[in-house]
Amino acid sequence: MELTIYNKKNGLDYTLCGEYYLPNLLPLQIEEKEIGIWGMRHLRYIKQHKKVRYTNLLTTGKLNAYLVEIDERAQNMKAMLIKQIYEHEGVNEMLKERNQMEWVQRMNNIRNRAEEIINREIICK
């Protein structure tokens, strides 16, 4: 009997253990990249609400890459939204020089709105 065999139907390798062939189910050695805040938020969401998607990503070894991509998209979207809203509402350096507290309040408001949009459009989908 052969020590290892390959099954073309399911794409798995099997190793002989005693009298039985058992599948080699070790996780793939994939480079793990660091996941940011948005990736972690999406991970929490899919664990709670999209269990099938989470399980599929986890078992195929694509979870980390998926979360890194979500995190990058969210960061880019946040920067773009803040810039667009900042310009649209006329929050500028003149306001910052004239009235710092109002500038801080308006920038915090803009940041919070951008984060809410990201939560709705990317994280909770």
- In this predicted model, what pLDDT tens digit does every residue of 56-103 receive, in sequence order? 998 888 999 999 999 999 999 999 999 999 999 999 999 999 999 999
Give percent above pLDDT 70 in the chain.
96
Q: DSSP letters of 12-56? A: EEEEEETTEEEE--PPP--PPPPP-HHHHHHHHHHHHH-HHHHHH
Distance CA 115, CA 123 (A): 10
Question: For residue 28, what pLDDT band results from cuts at 50, 70 and 90?
Answer: low
Instruction: Kindly report the pTM of this predicted structure.
Output: 0.73
Kindly state the tokens that stand for 79.
């920067």
**Residue 90, SS3 per DSSP:** coil
- Residue range 15-22: mean pLDDT, rounded: 88
pLDDT at 31 over 80: no
Question: For residue 26, what pLDDT band results from cuts at 50, 70 and 90?
Answer: low
Kindly state the tokens that stand for 40.
């972690």
Q: Which helix (H) or strand (E) holds 102?
A: helix 100-118
**Residue 4, SS3 per DSSP:** strand
**Residue 92, SS3 per DSSP:** coil
Question: For residue 25, what pLDDT band results from cuts at 50, 70 and 90?
Answer: confident
Q: Which helix (H) or strand (E) holds 5?
A: strand 4-7
**Residue 91 pLDDT:** 92
